[in-house]
Amino acid sequence: MADQNPLYQPPKLAERILSLCCKGRLLEEIEGDLFEYYQIEREERSKFRANINYWFHLLNFLRPFALKKLGQNSNTIIMYRSYLKFAWRGMMRQKLQTGFHLLGLILAFTVCGFIYLHVQYETSYDKHHQHADDIYRIAFMNSNPQTRTPHPMAQAMVNDFPEVKRAVTLSPIYGPGMTKQPVILTQDATNVTHEVAEGYFADTTFFDVFSYEPVFGNPKDALTKEWAVVLSESTAKRFFGEEDPIGQRLSFNGMVDLLEVAAVVKDAPKASHFRFNFMLSYVTLKTLPFNEPWLSWDDFGHFNYVQLQSGADAEALEAKIPGWVTTYLNWSGGDLEALQNGDDRFALQPIRDIHLHSNLLWELEANGSYTYLLIYGVSAIFILLISIINFVNLSTAKAAQRLKEIGVKKTLGANRREVFNQFMTEAFVTTFLALVLAVPAMIWLELPFNRLVDGNIEVQNLWTADAVLVLFGITVFTAIVSALYPSFYLNSFEAGSILRGLKLSKLGGSNIRNGLLAVQLVAAILMISGSLIIKNQIEFINSKDLGFEKENLMVMDISGEPFSNKIETLKTALAAVPGISGASAVSNVPGGQFNQHSFYLEAQPDVEVDSYEMFADENAAKVLGIDVLQGRMLDKAFAADSAGTAFVLNETAIKALGIEDVVGKPLVWAENDNKVKGTIVGVVKDFNYNSLHVPIRPLIMMVAENNYNYLVAKVSPQNLQATIVSAEKAFKEVMPEVDFSFRFLDGQIEDLYREEARTLRITIILSAISIFLACGGLLGIISIVIKQRVKEISIRKVLGASARQILWLVNFKYLLIALLSLALAVPISIYLMKDWLSSFTYQAGISPLVYGLTALGVVLLIGMTISAISMRVIRANPAQTLRTE
């Protein structure tokens, strides 16, 4: 053998790792084998391959048989064991404080987790579409911005703009007066009938633009066929169970076997700005003769979506629309001018923003609000802040008591790093324990939380990389910040000087502590005053005179086939029920959506007023409690009224017309091309038929027997149960085949403020938590501070100070901090809440009482907390406390 063959040196790092981890007894032979192996590999392969193989085999040795037994003779492990032991003993020694630490952190983590999930859900709307980032809805922004635009616009944009890739038009199935109308679908073969809401018409391109997963059939083909219907999976299950329903027929509102099931797709996720149950094609729609004007450029009556080429600039496209659209829109005069000078414009709304940022006329579903999301987020951060500050403040205050322990450790040979490690370990143990305990807490509270705030969160969604990372980051941050002071500052003293008796007063940090306390108080004050103001506003809304009487109004649905020609009979039958003082048939009820067209006085055709419309019978004013100011309410007795050529306007409509004495004046109501000529017969007082977020707009009322959707009955609050039972009996006599169902109008109106009510519930809970945590933290700090001042207090007592004087002495500083926090928080709160209130047209305003109450509450709570704790020390016999030296 060529004796001194040059040897190849395996990677040094790998050898180091092996010698670190491997059992000493096995190390030599393993190293030898690997070394020998490496020599062979290097002969045969490139250095790189050989290194990789070497690493692979080396890492393969990291198995139990070859690894060093941990803990038996490793210094590091022994030390960490002792740190853990000390941490555990420290926690057990002060169970109450540990419990409070944990509770505070668990609460904060849970709240943050929930709010994170909620925000995540609310911002996930329409994310599931493959092209979500390139799909925009066309909205028309005039003085009353609306979601609907003309049907031909969608495809015209595809034809004329290269950056528009695809477009689709859709429209919900509306009943008269723009109410989404449920349809009665029947499968005649098995006689299964369901009332199905959320039916839509859509262009053939629907499934190209929006992503839906097919279950049966081919949805794209389905939309090219006349009278073919695409069902959502859940709807298909209602009729056909698990079977493949393709080719089955369904009757549509009694029209036998009108529809053929051509495809079934998976239901859209809950986080969608619209969700259809069944869908027909515009191909079908276009075979119906009466739709002519509705499908033209004249009718802003369709939801249009465009999908741009990926990366196309939507803003640039938006800027091109005004110049382009006028070649199609046959507009002149003021409308054209408004479009050209930018007062009115077509906007492209990214679909992912619709849920949180769009709140226009005729939204497909009630959308969320970005502002509230912001409020939730800020509240969660406040709670977290308060909780972190608590933990930090209490840990640092407590650390001073452990100065002796540090001194002893240092004399026994602990160096600075070891003391540092100990404090860090303790902080990490507590925070991570809290994090781990927060998980079951969240799982346990998921259902109550969802119920309480009407939420859709699922805790399992927290197991995503970014959420885990955020919670982990917060935990590590909390631990490190809380351990910084003790591990650096306390650590900096010499063992000798500590044991000789370092003056506690020398220990700094109280300024920082007091500053953090102030931050906590500011956060708590913001939350308390904020929730009080939200509460005031909601109470204001609920008690505001809406211009009609919303209480005790029973609303029954009477739209659709079975009710035609029977409405009058039903009305009479219900009005005869004892306890019901009147019944009225209307197309829309306050709190719902209204359709909009325009009208003008025959004498001044250039003043055209956009106006909502409401079809109503002669009882409407009486039943709803609307005041008639001029003229009279509609009355069937007049031939013109029954013919729908008598109009009643509201005050705002009169103001928009700009003349005073309107009764008797001829008016033209322009339902697009259908110009209805008639006379104004009366004026009603303004009433808030929309939410109080928006001002009252012009309204025109007329009789139209075929357009009624609801029957409204005024019931007496006495004997309500009996009245409902007899109302049902009367209803069943006229309509035996229809189920009797009703709701109360005030409930529906409350729904308009659901988001507000939810925000109120959340902020009340969060402010309760925040004040609890802040007080708890204060309590902890004071009890530590008082302990340090026992001698001082005793000496003061000996020298003749009264309990009151001492109490004042102890309280003074903290009350000062509270006042300072108030001075800081109140302007911030006023600024923020003014901003929030501006989303309402009708505002309760900010009452100074709110801040008075908050201030009083905070000062009282602080004073009481401090006094309660210090009383024990103050009452103690000074001889007792002074003797210990």
Footprint of another protein (CB under 8 A):
1, 3-5, 7, 26, 28-37, 39, 56-58, 60-63, 65-66
Q: Measured from the CB atom, is 64 or 289 closer to another protein?
A: 64
Please give the C-alpha separations between residue 701 and each of 385, 426, 427, 594, 682, in angstroms, as whole numbers.
55, 73, 69, 12, 10
Q: Measured from the CB atom, is 18 or 308 closer to another protein?
A: 18
Minimum separation from the CB atom of position 29 to another protein (A): 4
Token look-up 């039916």 returns: 199
How far apart are the C-alpha atoms of 246 and 263, rounded to whole Å? 6
Contact criterion met (CB below 8 Å) for 298 and 673 = yes
Minimum separation from the CB atom of position 481 to another protein (A): 43
Q: Measured from the CB atom, is 16 or 85 closer to another protein?
A: 16
Query: b or e along 569-597 (b: 16 or more beta carbons within 10 Å of the residue's beta carbon)?
Result: ebbebbbebebbebbbbbbbbbbbbbbbb
Residues sharing a CB contact under 8 Å with residue 324, sequence separation 6 or more, in sequence order: 160, 161
Please give the C-alpha separations between residue 136 and each of 166, 182, 428, 605, 660, in angstroms, as whole numbers.
11, 27, 47, 36, 44
Environment class of residue 820 by beta-carbon count within 10 Å: exposed (0-12), middle (13-18) or buried (19+)? middle
Minimum separation from the CB atom of position 41 to another protein (A): 11
Minimum separation from the CB atom of position 60 to another protein (A): 3
Token look-up 């540092």 returns: 420
The three-state secondary structure class of 677 is: strand
DSSP code at position 20 = H
Minimum separation from the CB atom of position 73 to another protein (A): 20
Q: Measured from the CB atom, is 53 or 450 closer to another protein?
A: 53
Q: Measured from the CB atom, is 34 or 419 closer to another protein?
A: 34
| Start-end of H helices in 544-584 | 567-575
Minimum separation from the CB atom of position 69 to another protein (A): 14
How far apart are the C-alpha atoms of 584 and 621, rounded to whole Å? 9
The three-state secondary structure class of 292 is: coil
How far apart are the C-alpha atoms of 281 and 285, rounded to whole Å? 7
Q: Measured from the CB atom, is 39 or 204 closer to another protein?
A: 39
Minimum separation from the CB atom of position 61 to another protein (A): 4
Minimum separation from the CB atom of position 24 to another protein (A): 13
- Between strands 278-281 and 199-202, the pairing is parallel
Minimum separation from the CB atom of position 378 to another protein (A): 54
Minimum separation from the CB atom of position 39 to another protein (A): 6
First to last CA, the chain: 84
Q: Measured from the CB atom, is 66 or 502 closer to another protein?
A: 66
Q: Measured from the CB atom, is 32 or 473 closer to another protein?
A: 32
Minimum separation from the CB atom of position 64 to another protein (A): 9
Minimum separation from the CB atom of position 40 to another protein (A): 8
Q: Measured from the CB atom, is 34 or 135 closer to another protein?
A: 34
The CA-based angle 468-474-477, given to 5 degrees, is 135
**Helix (H) or strand (E) run with residue 197 in it:** none
Minimum separation from the CB atom of position 372 to another protein (A): 58
Residues sharing a CB contact under 8 Å with residue 641, sequence separation 6 or more, in sequence order: 618, 634, 635, 681, 702, 703
How far apart are the C-alpha atoms of 195 and 113, rounded to whole Å? 39
Minimum separation from the CB atom of position 14 to another protein (A): 13
Q: Measured from the CB atom, is 30 or 441 closer to another protein?
A: 30
Q: Measured from the CB atom, is 19 or 706 closer to another protein?
A: 19
How many CB atoms neighbour CB 370 within 10 A? 15
Q: Measured from the CB atom, is 7 or 795 closer to another protein?
A: 7
Q: Measured from the CB atom, is 38 or 851 closer to another protein?
A: 38
Query: b or e along 679-688 (b: 16 or more beta carbons within 10 Å of the residue's beta carbon)?
Result: bbbbbbebbb
φ/ψ (deg, to 5) at 366: -60, 125
Minimum separation from the CB atom of position 77 to another protein (A): 23
Contact criterion met (CB below 8 Å) for 631 and 681 = yes
Minimum separation from the CB atom of position 72 to another protein (A): 19
How far apart are the C-alpha atoms of 509 and 494, rounded to whole Å? 19
Residues sharing a CB contact under 8 Å with residue 796, sequence separation 6 or more, in sequence order: 805, 806, 809
Q: Measured from the CB atom, is 36 or 454 closer to another protein?
A: 36
- Between strands 345-350 and 674-684, the pairing is unpaired
φ/ψ (deg, to 5) at 138: -90, 125
How far apart are the C-alpha atoms of 690 and 368, rounded to whole Å? 17
Q: Measured from the CB atom, is 32 or 241 closer to another protein?
A: 32
Minimum separation from the CB atom of position 32 to another protein (A): 3
Evaluate the CA torsion angle 92, 97, 100, 105 in order and state its sign.
negative
Q: Measured from the CB atom, is 1 or 316 closer to another protein?
A: 1
Minimum separation from the CB atom of position 30 to another protein (A): 6
Output the DSSP codes for 771-817.
HHHHHHHHHHHHHHHHHHTHHHHHHHHHTT--HHHHHHHHHHHHHHH
Please give the C-alpha separations between residue 426 and each of 97, 108, 150, 388, 389, in angstroms, as whole numbers.
14, 19, 66, 15, 17
Q: Measured from the CB atom, is 9 or 82 closer to another protein?
A: 9
Cα Rg, the chain, nearest whole Å = 37
Q: Measured from the CB atom, is 57 or 732 closer to another protein?
A: 57
